[in-house]
Amino acid sequence: MAITRNGCEGCAEITCASSKQVLAQDIAKNVRTAYDRMQSRGMSACLFGSGGTCCRNCNMGPCQIIDGVDEMLGICGANADTVAARNFARVVAAGSAAHTDHAREMVRGFIDTAKGEGPHCIKDVEKLKSLAAVFDITTEGREVNEIALELGEKALAEFGKQDSTPLSMLKRAVPKRQALWNKLGIAPRGIDREVVEMMHRTHMGVDQEYENIMLQASRCALSDGWGASMLSTELTDIMFGTPVPRRAIVDLGVLRADQVNITVHGHEPLLAEALCIAAQEPDMIELARKQGAKGINLAGVCCTGNEILMRRGIPVAAGFIQQEIALATGAVEAMVVDVQCIMPSVTEVAKNFHTDIITTNYRAKMEGAIHLQFEEHAALESAKSILTHAIKNFKKRRDFFIPQETKLDVVVGFSHETINYMLGGRFRASYRPLNDNIINGRIRGVGAIVGCDNFKLTDDAHEIIARELIKNNVLVLATGCAATSLGRAGLLTPEAARYCGDTLAEICETVGMPPVLHMGSCVDNSRILIAATEMVRQGGLGDDISDLPAIGTAPLWMSEKAVAIGQYFVASGAQVVFQSLPTTGAKKFNKYLQEGLMGQVGAHWNVASEPLEIARLMIEKIEAKRDALGINKKKERVLFDMAMRRDLTAGVPGVGCHGPSGA
């Protein structure tokens, strides 16, 4: 396999102009990136690992299972389907756990804010009240912070809930879906409990039937989507403001030659928001000036980037696969990281420059990094000490290269509330116009492009899929690093309407919206659940998410969180398409994921290997849903005879034999 910095044969290819420019510079010649490591590994992935049939759940193994070969069962007798299902379910549990631990921190931060501790306040009171209603909290005549405190405490209790009643947020789903979850026994009870039960059931010698394992995998994933992630998104919005459309810039060109560049990487907005506030404090700006800089330039990486991009318009420098390349510019004084998706390699890349990697969360330390613990109770002071360290690095900056011409404009901030008024205007705020445009066929349906970047496919896979979808009048919703990559492709602007089919282009031009709507970070996929639910509630598109002409894809998925997201979409009735699944070594289980789940939850996983194939499969599925809804039928022209005309006008005052036509 030939891999070069300008692309690799059969797997990853760097097409991103800014990344290529940076890696071609002399200053980057000693930087080793994931692309280089793919080349030097020189071996393909283990077939058992890729197919999901390697088990190391006990010390009689590890066992590599070959499906259908009796001699190649596990030592305990486990077959390929049991092992692949257990492995898949554990991926769901790990992904859900990551979202859950993140969400718990957000809820704790929300409680601190409600108590008046820390630099934040309650910004979206309307949303606070609507969420309070979900938790049966009285709002009439009460102080905002008092309501927020009760909401925060009730939200925190959802994590450790031990009784068997469903999570409160499930009430937001449409009744038919709630009834199905109850019938299948997969309505999640406590958020933490579902992860623990999943890990228990996949321990050696417990749940061995793949269908039963998947029931708990669905319950665990739902506890993420409708529990942890949704709580995190909603409480973050209440505290930091619900995103509204705003213009911003993305790509490596957002770094500034004359300012202290600090990239904020990870997932938790509590840290990022505190850094944003601290970076505006006069003493911090003065310190930067004393070091010879004109100011402090915060820039996001990965989903922390998406959080502050959506709410503050802070630029995003890089998505997941560009994190090393951002450092290879030599222009970054510090990369401040918290949790999730931080490549261990960044400390090695940083050694080539004056850059410090600063870890801030006790959960996530790295060899070669400086640890400055972010104290939520003293958020501003903590943020200032992190900034001070970074600012003092500015004087040490040597040669650097910032690819200025690749800085791209984007319009972001499409929360589900924004979509509510975007098409109908403030006076007619509802999903009705969206539904009407889907029913009349001007918008064929909705395609969500979510999740990570990866080195397994060409890095413009998101762009290829999005272009094909919008060309076919499918409105695209995007989150996570997929959204950043679509920003780099220039598709997050209203001007991208020129790449759409005629009818979607007309809508985008009339409303002034991009055909690809950035909805936030990876926890914000919960916004898509609410948007889909609102579409069902609005009427005309069936009575469950499984009826909607809508589908999701995470073509470059990398993280276990993406599998948890995929499973909660499927268990909520939405089809998903991935580029690969680690289940191909177990025939029955693989078929069950890609077909069998349909009979149970009304949706299933799909696999397609190439970007265009993914897009076309999405369009095909959308058209099939339109057929099932009966909205693809062209209205037949009916020629009325006299009897039909009489029937039509009968009983209508002023029309008929005594009215105008009879006059």
Shortest CB 446 distance to ligand SF4, Å: 41
How big, in percent rounded to 5, are the helix, strand and coil portions of the chain? 50, 10, 40
Q: CB nearer to ligand SF4: give 79 or 259.
A: 79
Rama region for 542: left / alpha / beta (φ>0; ψ in -120 to 50; rest): left
DSSP per-residue string spanning 150-186: HHHHHHHHHHH--SSSPPGGGGGS-HHHHHHHHHHT-
DSSP string, 61-124: --EE--TT-GGGS-TT---HHHHHHHHHHHHHHHHHHHHHHHHHHHHHHHHHHHTT-SS-----
Cα distance between residue 615 and residue 622, in whole Å? 11
User: 17 with 463: CB under 8 angstroms?
Assistant: no
Cβ atoms of 355 and 65 within 8 Å: the answer is no
Q: Which does residue 55 touch among ligand SF4, ligand MSK, none (CB within 5 to 8 A, set by kind)?
A: ligand SF4
CB atoms within 10 A of CB 644: 11
Residue with Cβ nearer ligand MSK (169 or 481) = 481
**Smaller CB separation from ligand SF4, 76 or 598:** 76
Smallest separation (angstroms) from ligand SF4 to the CB of 200: 14
Q: Say which entry of ligand SF4, ligand MSK, none residue 196 contacts (CB below 5 to 8 A, set by partner kind).
A: none
Among ligand MSK, ligand SF4, none, partner that 75 touches (CB below 5 to 8 angstroms by kind): ligand SF4
Smallest gap from residue 353 Cβ to ligand MSK (A): 23
63 binds, among ligand MSK, ligand SF4, none (CB under 5 to 8 A by kind): ligand SF4
| CB within 8 Å of 225: residues ≥ 6 apart | 525, 526, 529, 564, 565, 568, 569, 571, 572
Instruction: Name the residue among 619, 446, 436 with its Cα closest to residue 540.
Output: 436
Q: Which of 329, 418, 420, 559 binds ligand MSK (CB under 6 A)?
A: 559
By CB under 6 A, the residues from 30 to 89 that bind ligand SF4 are 55-58, 60-63, 74-76, 78, 83
Does residue 94 touch ligand MSK according to CB under 6 A? no
Least Cβ distance, residue 384 to ligand MSK (angstroms): 26
Nearer residue to ligand SF4 within complex by CB, 22 or 63:
63
Least separation, in Å, of the C-beta of 52 and ligand SF4?
12
Nearer to ligand SF4, 61 or 441 (CB): 61
Per-residue burial over 153-168, b if 16 or more Cβ lie within 10 Å, else e, is: ebbbebbebeeeebbb
Enter the tokens of residue 335. 């990369």
Q: What does the angle CA 307 – CA 313 – CA 317 come to, to the nearest 5 degrees?
A: 75
Q: Residues 451-470 vs ligand MSK: string with x where CB under 6 A?
A: xx------------------
Q: Which two tokens stand for residue 586?
A: 């177990």
Residue 589 and residue 583 in contact, taking contact as beta carbons nearer than 8 Å: yes
Site for ligand MSK contains 561 (CB under 6 A): yes
Cα(282)–Cα(284) distance, rounded to whole angstroms?
Answer: 5
What is the smallest separation between the CB atom of 86 and ligand SF4, expressed in angstroms? 8
Closer residue to ligand MSK in complex, CB, 402/522: 522
Nearest distance from residue 485's CB to ligand SF4, in Å?
Answer: 37
- Residue from 83, 97, 284, 481 binding ligand MSK (CB under 6 A): 481
Which of the residues 335 through 394 are near ligand MSK (CB under 6 A)?
Answer: 340-341
The listed partner (ligand SF4, ligand MSK, none) that binds 447, CB under 5 to 8 Å by sort, is none
Phi and psi, residue 656, nearest 5°: 115, -155
Measured from the CB of residue 376, what is the shortest distance to ligand MSK in angstroms?
21
The listed partner (ligand MSK, ligand SF4, none) that binds 606, CB under 5 to 8 Å by sort, is: none
Q: Residue 57: name its binding partner from ligand SF4, ligand MSK, none (Cβ under 5 to 8 Å by kind).
A: ligand SF4
User: Which listed residue (302, 328, 331, 343) binds ligand MSK by CB under 6 A?
Assistant: 302
CB of 260 to ligand MSK, least distance (A): 24
User: Which of 316, 326, 304 minimizes the C-alpha distance to 246?
Assistant: 316
Residue 567 Cβ, how far from ligand SF4 at the closest point, in Å? 22
78 binds, among ligand MSK, ligand SF4, none (CB under 5 to 8 A by kind): ligand SF4
Q: Are 198 and 564 in contact (CB under 8 A)?
A: no
With H, G, I as helix, E, B as strand and everything else as coil, classify residue 632: coil
Between 235 and 343, whose beta carbon lies closer to ligand MSK?
343
Q: In angstroms, what is the C-alpha Rg of the chain?
A: 26
Among left, alpha and beta (phi > 0; psi -120 to 50; other), residue 136 is left
Q: How far is the CB of 267 from ligand MSK (least distance, A)?
A: 6
Which of 560, 532, 534, 537 is closest to 548 using CA atoms?
532
Q: How far apart are CA 231 and CA 219, in angstroms?
A: 17
Q: Count residues contacting ligand SF4 (CB under 6 A)?
A: 14
Give me the least distance between CB of 77 and ligand SF4, in Å please. 7
What residues numbered 191-220 form the site for ligand SF4, per CB under 6 A? 204
Q: Which is nearer to ligand MSK, 201 or 561 (CB)?
A: 561
- The strand order across the sheet containing 316-318 reads 370-371, 356-359, 334-337, 260-265, 296-301, 316-318, 246-250, 408-412
Answer for which of 93, 332, 343, 522 binds ligand MSK (CB under 6 A) is 522
Is residue 34 a contact residue for ligand MSK (CB under 6 A)? no
Q: Which of 48, 88, 226, 320 binds ligand MSK (CB under 6 A)?
A: 320
Q: What is the DSSP string of 524-563?
A: THHHHHHHHHHHHHHSSS-SSGGGSSEEEEETT--SHHHH
- Residues forming contacts to ligand SF4 in the complex (CB under 6 A) are 55-58, 60-63, 74-76, 78, 83, 204
- Residues forming contacts to ligand MSK in the complex (CB under 6 A) are 267, 302-303, 320, 340-341, 451-452, 480-481, 521-522, 558-559, 561
